[in-house]
Structure 1
Amino acid sequence: MRELTDFRPFLRTSTVFWRNNVPPPSERIILVEAMSQDLRVTLRNLTVANALRRMEPARIVVYSGADEDWNQIIWTYFNLEEISAMATAYGAEAVFDAHALVDARVAGTAEPMEIAGVDLGGDLPDSGIPADKLDEIVYATTCRMALVARLDDSPEIQAKKDQVTARSVEFAKIYDALLANNDVVALISSHVDYNNFGLAVEAAIRHDVPVLFPQSTGGLKVYGLFPEKLPAGAPIRAGLTTQLGEFFEKHVWPNRELLHRSSELTQARAKATLGRPSWWRAGADFSSVELRTPADRAAVRVPAGRRVGLDPSKPTISVFNHAVSDALGTNWEVFEDLGDWIEKTAAWAAEHDEVNWLFLDHPHQHMYDATGFFDGVAARYADQPHMKFMRSLDLSKNYLTALTDLVLTVRGSVSSEYPALGIPALQCGWSEWSACGFTTVTESVEEYFSELTRHIEGLLAGEVLITPDQVERARLWMWFYRCASDVPSGLVQQWPVGEGDRLFEILSINMLHVEADGEPAFAAVQRMWRRREPFLSRFDWEVSPDALAIQLGAVTA
C-alpha cells in the first residue's frame, strides 16, 4: 500500500546529494522515462541516469505522463507533479508530459514546446521507424489497451487501433526528433514494450543509443541493450537472451562448484517468490513450496490429484496461461500469439488422454483479458475428463508442484522455477534464461508438438526428463537472477520497502550519513557501461576464481 504523506524533505536532501555527487553537465543529454505511477520506478531510472552521469557528464531530459487508457486499466493514480519534483531534485533540466503533447499533436492543438533544443509542438519530420515495426508496436499496444489476445474486425477494436495508430505516429516523431537533434548518451526506460515506452526504445537502438532498463523488483536490477550487440531484425529482447546465455556459459556455469552452496541457499529461501515478477503470488499460504524432493512430491501427489479431479497415477502436464495481451512480439515466439498457443495446445491435448492436462489461468488474468478468453477455452473442453481448467490461485503451489510432471509455457517464469525443483519445462518462445540450458526450447510449431510427443512418451515410460546438470543450471539461474544481477544500493532500497514515507526516510538517511564513495550502484553501472554487459552485477566476473570467491564472501570451510 502507498503511504506517502510528504516527501519534500527528501527532495531537499536529494537535491544537495546529487549536486555534490554528479559533475557539471555537458551539452549531451540522457533521456529518462518516468511514465509509471509508482515512484520507485522513477527513482530507479533517475538513479541509473545519475550513476551514468558520473562517467558521462550530461543533462537529464525526462518524459512522463499517462493517457486515459493507462489510467483506466493499469494505474490507480498518476501524479505528474510528484514525478516532476523528483526529477528536478535528481538534476533534470526538463520534464514534459509526452502523453499530453501527443494528444495535442493528434488534435492539431499543440503549442510550441522547446525541449533539448527541439520544438516538439511544431512541425516534425516523419519518424524513420520501418512501417512493419510500427505496425507491430501498434498491434501489441492495441491488444494491451483493449485487453484482448488478438485484434478482430469489430468497430470497437478498429476504432481503438486507429486511436493507437495516430498516437503512435506522434510518439515516434517526438522520440526521433529528440534523438536525431541531440548527442544522446543513453535512454533509461523501465519498459521496452508498447507505443509510449517501446517507440522510444526502438528509436534509440536505430540511432545507435544504448538503452538501460531497470526492473521493478529486487534492489537495483538493470538490463542493458547495446545496439552493437543486438542482432539485426530480431525482437528487442532477443539479443538480451543470447547475451545472457553466453555470459552464463562463460562465467556462471564454470564456477558452479564455488556457487553451489549459494544457489542451494537461494533455492531454499525462494519458497514464496520463485520466478519473476514476485508480486503475483508472494506472501500468502498458497504461494509457498515446502516440497523439496521427489519423495516429498510423491507423498502429496494423491491428495493433489483428488483435489483437482485428475488421476494421480497418470502423468500430469501443467499448462500455464499467459497474460494474453501482455508485451506481444518483444521476443521470439513460435505461435502467432499467446492465445493461439494455448488454443492449439488445448486442441492437441483433447486427443491425448493418455496423460492428464491441467490448464491454469494467469494469477492476474483480469488485468490482461476483458473477454473471458481462458474461460472460453475451458468451456470447449468441459466434457474431457483428462483436461482440467483452474484458477491458479485456487490451487496451492504444494499441490501444483506435487502433481506436475511437465511444464508448458511460451516464456513464463515457471520455466525457470520448476526445473529448479526437478520438473522439466518445454518452451515455445524465448525468455531471458532460454539460452542457459535448463529448458527445452522449440523453434517452430512442428518442433513444439514433436517435443511434446517425445516428452509424453518419456513420461509414460517412467523416464527422468531432466538431468542433474539442468536442475543445477536452473538453480544457478535462480541465484544469478535474485543475487548476482541484483545490486544492493542505499540509493534505491529493496522493492518491498514500498513507496511511502519509510522509503524516503531511509533514502534521506543514506544520503545524509553515508559517503558516496564505494556506492555499489555507481561501481556496478560503471562496470556494465564500460564492458557493455547485458545486465548490472554486484560482482566483477572478470577476475580470478580466488578473487571471485572473496567478492562472494564464499564459505570455504
Structure 2
Amino acid sequence: MSERSATFEDTVLRSRRFWQTASSLGADLSARHVVVDMMVDHPVYYLGNLIIAKYLELTHGFKIWALISSEQDSKAVLTAKSFGVDGITYVRDEAAKEASPVAAAVIRHLENTSDVELRKRLLAIQINGIPVGDLIYDTYVRETRRITIRAFDDDLKAYLILLVNYCTLYERLLGALDVGAVVLGHTVYSRFGVLARMAAKAGSSVYTRFGGKGMRIQRRESLDKVMDVIFRVQPDDVDSLMAADGDKAVEIGKQTLLRRVGGSENEFQFLNEESYAPDRPTQSVDEFCARMGLETARPKGLVMLHAFSDATHHTPRMIFDDYHEWFLHTLDVAVGQQEVDWLFKLHPYDHHYTDDREPAERIAALANEYAHIHLVPEDLNTATFPDVASFVVTINGKAGLEFAGFGVPVLLGGNGFYSGCGFDVTPGSIEEYRGALNDAAALRLTSAQVARALVANDLYYRQAVCDCRLLPDSSYTFWKPFDEGSFWGGLVDAMETGVLQDDPLYTAMVNLRESAAETLLRPE
C-alpha cells in the first residue's frame, strides 16, 4: 500500500484524465460491448474488474458497460464514469422491479418438500436450458449463513424469485447490446452466475478474475467452461510446461511451493494465507503426535474441511448435495475405519461465513467416543501437516495441490480446481468415494506424479498470478480492515509514475488476445 493518502474525489479527477489519454492510443471502438461486473462494493473488486474491461476496450475495441448493484454505490458509479463507460445497469435496483410467472411455477414445484427431496429438486432447476439450481442453493446458504438446506422457507423462496428476476434482466441486457465479452469476479451466486451462463450460451467470451493486485484470469468460451471453478489448473498447461522445461520446471515448482508454505508464496502480500503465517506454530511429527496422543507409526488421514456456506457448488458435477453431506459421509467412513487415525481440520475462515458449530461439535463428540477420531487444534500452522499426513482428503482445497507436491496422496470428494492433472484420486460417485476413502491409507504417489504436482503448484501460485500495476496491494476480504485513503493514494501514484505499457497485466492481456490460450500468464 502507498504511504500517500488521496481523497476519492481527487482520484476520480486523475483517473478521468489518465484514461482519456490512454483511450486515444487504443483500438478503434466498435459497436460491441464488454460487460463488467462491479457488483461487489469493494474498491479492490470493482476497480480490478474495471481495469480488465478497460484493457479489453483498448485491445479489442469493445465499449464498456458496467453492472453495479445499486445507484447508491456512489464510489463505484463515479469510478466507472471516470473510465468512460458507455452505460451502467443497476442490477439489484432493476431486479427488484421484476415479476415473473416462471418463479411461481418453480415455487409450486418445491413446496411441501424438505431435506433430501428439496435439495434434489432445487439442484435440478433449469431456466431456458441453463442449470441455475446450484446458484440459488449457494446464494441461500451464503446469505443466511446456513451449512445446508433443510426446508423451503421464505428466504429460499425470496432468493429463487430474485434469480428469476436476474434471468429476465440479463436476457434483456444481452438482447439490447452486442456483447463480445464479460468480466466477472465470481461465477457462483445468482447475480454473477446467471450472467456468466447466459453470456456464454449466447457466444460471449467470459473472463473470470480471482485475486487482488495479483490476479488470476481465464477466458472461458462455453457454457460448460463457465460452470466451473473460477480458475482451473489445466492438465494441458502442466503437460506443456513439463515438455518445455522438464527438470527445471519441477525444481522451480518446488521452490514456489516452499515459499508458499513459508507464508510468502509471491510478492503480493494479500494472496498469502493466514494458515501459513510465520507467527503460527509449526510442530514436528513427534511433537504433534505427543500433543494429540497418537502413535507415530499409524497411518493418518487429514480431512481438510471447507467453509460450509462458501460456494458449495463452485466445483462442477458435485457428487454430494453440498459440503455438509460430503462431511457426513466422510465422518461415517472414518468412524468405521479404525486402522487409521483421522484428523479433521476446520477451515480457518469458516467462522466468517457461519455461526453454526454443528460440524465441530459433531467431531468433538465422536472424538470422545472413538480413539481414532480427532479434531485438530486451530492454532497450528498448516505447514505442520505434510509430514504428519499419510493422505489428505478435501473437495476443492488448495491443501490437496500443495500436499501432493510433498508426496502426500490426495483424495477429492469433487472435481477440484486441479483434478485431472495426474496426481489426484477423484471418484465419480458417492459409493466410489466411500470405497476409496476406506482404502485411502494404501494410496501412494509416484515420483512422476509428485513432479506434476510441483509444476502445477508453480503454475497456480506463480505463473498464473499477474501483477496489475494500477491496483494497490490491499486487503480484499470482507473481514479484514481496509485503508481506503492509502488505496486511492496508491492508484494515483501508479497513474502518475508510469504508462500502460509498464503494467504486466496490460502486456499479458495483449499476449492473451494473440493466442488461443485459456489461461493468462504473467509476462516473463
Structure-2-length-normalised TM-score: 0.84
- CA offset digits 1:369-412 (Å, max 9, x no partner): 34323124325523011101235x33333443332221001111
Asked whether the 8 Å contact 2:304–2:394 carries over to 1, the reply is yes
1:412 aligns with 2:400: no
- Please state whether the residue corresponding to 1:55 is helix, strand or coil: helix
1:285 aligns with 2:271: no
Paired residue for 2:328?
343
Are the structure 2 counterparts of residues 218 and 396 from structure 1 closer, same or farther at C-alpha, using a change threshold of 3 Å? same
Asked whether the 8 Å contact 2:185–2:208 carries over to 1, the reply is yes
- CA offset digits 1:95-115 (Å, max 9, x no partner): 34311222233599xxxxxxx
- Please state whether the residue corresponding to 2:132 is helix, strand or coil: helix
Shift of 1:27: 2.7
Shift of 1:160: 0.7
- CA offset digits 1:250-279 (Å, max 9, x no partner): 334542333244323322322126699644
- CA offset digits 1:116-152 (Å, max 9, x no partner): xxxxxxxxxxxx9336723332122112222223211
1:200 aligns with 2:200: no
Paired residue for 1:424?
409
| Aligned counterparts, 1:60-75, within 5 A | 60-65=64-69
Paired residue for 2:241?
251
Are the structure 2 counterparts of residues 373 and 180 from structure 1 closer, same or farther at C-alpha, using a change threshold of 3 Å? farther
Asked whether the 8 Å contact 1:219–1:493 carries over to 2, the reply is no
Asked whether the 8 Å contact 1:491–1:511 carries over to 2, the reply is yes
Correspondent of 1:485 among 458, 464, 468:
464
How far, CA to CA, are the matches of 2:46 and 2:130 in structure 1? 31
| Aligned counterparts, 1:94-493, within 5 A | 94-105=87-98, 129-130=127-128, 133-153=131-151, 158-217=153-212, 219-227=214-222, 231=224, 236-237=227-228, 241=232, 244-270=234-260, 271-272=262-263, 278-281=272-275, 283-286=277-280, 300-330=284-314, 331-379=316-364, 381=366, 382-391=368-377, 393-457=378-442, 465-493=444-472
- Percentage of matched positions with identical amino acids: 20
Shift of 1:17: 1.6
Paired residue for 2:518?
534
Are the structure 2 counterparts of residues 416 and 218 from structure 1 closer, same or farther at C-alpha, using a change threshold of 3 Å? farther
Shift of 1:356: 0.2
Paired residue for 1:502?
486
Are the structure 2 counterparts of residues 267 and 522 from structure 1 closer, same or farther at C-alpha, using a change threshold of 3 Å? same
Shift of 1:282: 5.0
Paired residue for 1:544?
none
Structure-1-length-normalised TM-score: 0.79
Correspondent of 2:37 among 33, 36, 45:
33
**What is the number of residues matched between the two proteins?**
486
1:520 aligns with 2:504: yes
* Amino acid corresponding to residue 275 of structure 2 in structure 1: R
How far, CA to CA, are the matches of 1:499 and 1:30 in structure 2? 30
Q: Which segment is superposed worse, 469-478 or 314-323?
A: 469-478
Asked whether the 8 Å contact 1:30–1:49 carries over to 2, the reply is yes
- CA offset digits 1:402-459 (Å, max 9, x no partner): 322210011111111111222221112122221222222222223223333443245x
Shift of 1:496: 5.6
* Amino acid corresponding to residue 385 of structure 1 in structure 2: A
How far, CA to CA, are the matches of 1:528 and 1:499 in structure 2? 33
Paired residue for 1:111?
none
The gaps in structure 2 that reach 5 residues or longer are 102-125, 477-481
How far, CA to CA, are the matches of 2:416 and 2:139 in structure 1? 20
- Please state whether the residue corresponding to 2:387 is helix, strand or coil: helix
Shift of 1:503: 3.5
* Amino acid corresponding to residue 81 of structure 1 in structure 2: S
Are the structure 2 counterparts of residues 405 and 273 from structure 1 closer, same or farther at C-alpha, using a change threshold of 3 Å? farther
- Please state whether the residue corresponding to 2:434 is helix, strand or coil: helix
- CA offset digits 1:442-490 (Å, max 9, x no partner): 22223223333443245xxxxxx12222222222222112221122232
Paired residue for 2:120?
none
How far, CA to CA, are the matches of 1:489 and 1:98 in structure 2? 27
Asked whether the 8 Å contact 1:217–1:278 carries over to 2, the reply is no
Q: Which segment is superposed worse, 356-365 or 421-430?
A: 421-430
Q: Which segment is superposed worse, 416-425 or 165-174?
A: 416-425
How far, CA to CA, are the matches of 1:238 and 1:456 in structure 2? 28
- Please state whether the residue corresponding to 1:401 is helix, strand or coil: coil
How far, CA to CA, are the matches of 1:466 and 1:457 in structure 2? 10
Asked whether the 8 Å contact 1:217–1:277 carries over to 2, the reply is yes
Are the structure 2 counterparts of residues 262 and 33 from structure 1 closer, same or farther at C-alpha, using a change threshold of 3 Å? same
* Amino acid corresponding to residue 279 of structure 2 in structure 1: D
How far, CA to CA, are the matches of 1:412 and 1:523 in structure 2? 31
Shift of 1:322: 1.0
How far, CA to CA, are the matches of 2:522 and 2:375 in structure 1? 42
Asked whether the 8 Å contact 1:315–1:405 carries over to 2, the reply is yes
- CA offset digits 1:207-234 (Å, max 9, x no partner): 111111211245232122112xx64xx7
Q: Which segment is superposed worse, 259-268 or 158-167?
A: 259-268
- Please state whether the residue corresponding to 1:237 is helix, strand or coil: coil
Asked whether the 8 Å contact 1:334–1:428 carries over to 2, the reply is yes
* Amino acid corresponding to residue 74 of structure 2 in structure 1: E
Asked whether the 8 Å contact 1:188–1:213 carries over to 2, the reply is yes
* Amino acid corresponding to residue 178 of structure 1 in structure 2: L
